[in-house]
Amino acid sequence: MSIVASFEIEFLQYLDPSGTLAGEGETPAFARDVRELVELYKLMSFVRVFDGKAIALQRTGKLGTYASCLGMEATHVAIGSALSVDDVFVPFYRDYGTQFYRGVKPREVLLYWGGDERGNNFSGPAHDFAWSVPIATQCLHAAGSALAFKIRKEPRVALATVGDGGTSKGDFYAAINAAGAMTLPLVIVIVNNQYAISTPRRMQTGAQTLAQKGIAAGIESIQVDGNDLIAMRVALDHAVKRARHGHGATLIEALTYRLSDHTTADDARRYRSEDEVAQAWKNEPLKRMRTYLTGMNAWSAMEEKDLLADCSARADAEVNAYLETKAQPLTAMFDYTYAELPLDLERQRAAALALAGGTK
């Protein structure tokens, strides 16, 4: 018996949990640009502060169910910084760091989770996709966008994010299969936060890594420390460059951890231990980057204090803008789906207005 093919998955890490370079050879140029690192760290910090305030809004009845991104800030911010404006970002439902980098306003995130679909008509590149709650369908949307770019000979890239649980869906497999078969300019980042709601990664698949799922599709695949901003950016820069120059798709598995509940409708204490979460906090991305910047003499305790105060003030301003947004008229639930409203919905619209005592 002979071996017809063999494969391996590389793991990329530059910055270990202690905040020191882990020895992956020469320090990448990106890691030596402390000014850019500081700006990205500031965004990571803002995302975390915003996230906490959004949860507080939900707990006080001023926001609907909300999906926290606590612990995943490095992965999301790295994605935002690696894309160009003309590229297309196709998110799932907790990629706030990426979207803030691309111009989405925090108040728009709050509008969406507050049940106002105007939040999905967000700022930033108009060609970016709206939030996707159905699991993994966004992977197909990204593959379709990438195919359009290839047909039009446009030097653009489509990037989709998906959770570890989403890699068990047929939509994910169909997307990476199409990307490999047609050499599409597609990057898919698996944000492996270890849990698909209450289902742990070990129960999702028998695969040793999630990255290796890309091998069967014939696309380049790598596993990266998702709490390491530097490693994520290096892997993303490589993947985006490959895609933009016609060399095909890349699958990146970003190893991170969901430090929060799945959403505010979840209680993660029911399915994971305090010890597990405490260990995960030792690997979280903000402390890691802060330690690295401090060691580079690029950050100080005073700057940290000022940053947190600024983040809190900015987040409060966005919360107030959300709370002060005038509600849409009742008729909005009927008026934006059909060019001509079907008769049954026309009757419902009239009945709803009559019940509300309105005429519009």
Between 25-39, 46-60, 245-259, the lowest mean confidence (pLDDT) is in: 25-39
Neighbours of 342 (CB within 10 A): 10
Q: What is the pLDDT of residue 23?
A: 64
The answer to whether residue 358 scores a pLDDT higher than 80 is no
Max intra-chain CA distance, the chain: 80
Retrieve residue 114's tokens: 């507050």
262 is catalytic: yes
CB 22 within 8 A of CB 14: yes
Distance CA 5, CA 7 (A): 7
Residue 360: its pLDDT value, please?
A: 54
With 80 as the cut, is the pLDDT of residue 181 above it? yes
Of the candidates 59, 271, 338, 347, the residue annotated as catalytic is 271
Half-sphere exposure of 154 (CA within 13 A, CB side): 14
For residue 53, pLDDT beyond 80: yes
pTM of the model: 0.94
What per-residue confidence (pLDDT) applies to 182? 98
Q: Percentage of residues in the chain with pLDDT exceeding 90?
A: 90
Q: What is the mean pLDDT of residues 268-288?
A: 97
Catalytic residue (one of 48, 102, 258, 288): 258
Q: DSSP secondary structure string, 83-150?
A: S-TTSEEE--S--HHHHHHTT--HHHHHHHHTT-GGGGS-SS-TTSPPP--STTHHHHHHHHHHHHHH
Q: What is the pLDDT of residue 239?
A: 98
pLDDT tens digit string along 89-146? Answer: 999 999 999 999 999 999 999 999 999 989 999 999 999 999 989 999 999 999 999 9
Phi and psi dihedrals of 210, rounded to 5? -85, -25
Round to whole Å and give the CA distance between 59 and 333: 26
Q: Which CATH number fits domain 11-328: 3.40.50.970, 3.30.430.20, 3.40.50.1370, 3.10.200.10?
A: 3.40.50.970
Catalytic residue among 262, 290, 292, 322: 262
pLDDT value at residue 12: 96
**pLDDT score at 24:** 56
- Mean pLDDT calculated for residue range 322-350: 93
Contacts of the segment 327-336: beta carbons below 8 A, 24+ positions apart: 327/116, 328/116, 328/118, 329/358, 329/360, 330/356, 330/358, 330/360, 331/360
Q: What's the half-sphere exposure (Cβ side, CA atoms, 13 Å) at 328?
A: 15
State mean pLDDT over 199-212: 95
Domain ranges, ordered by start, for the chain: 11-328, 331-360
Q: Are 334 and 341 spatial neighbours (Cβ–Cβ below 8 Å)?
A: yes
Query: What pLDDT score does 281 carry?
Result: 97
pLDDT (0 to 100) of residue 26 = 75
If one compares 29 and 314, the residue with the highest pLDDT of the two is: 314
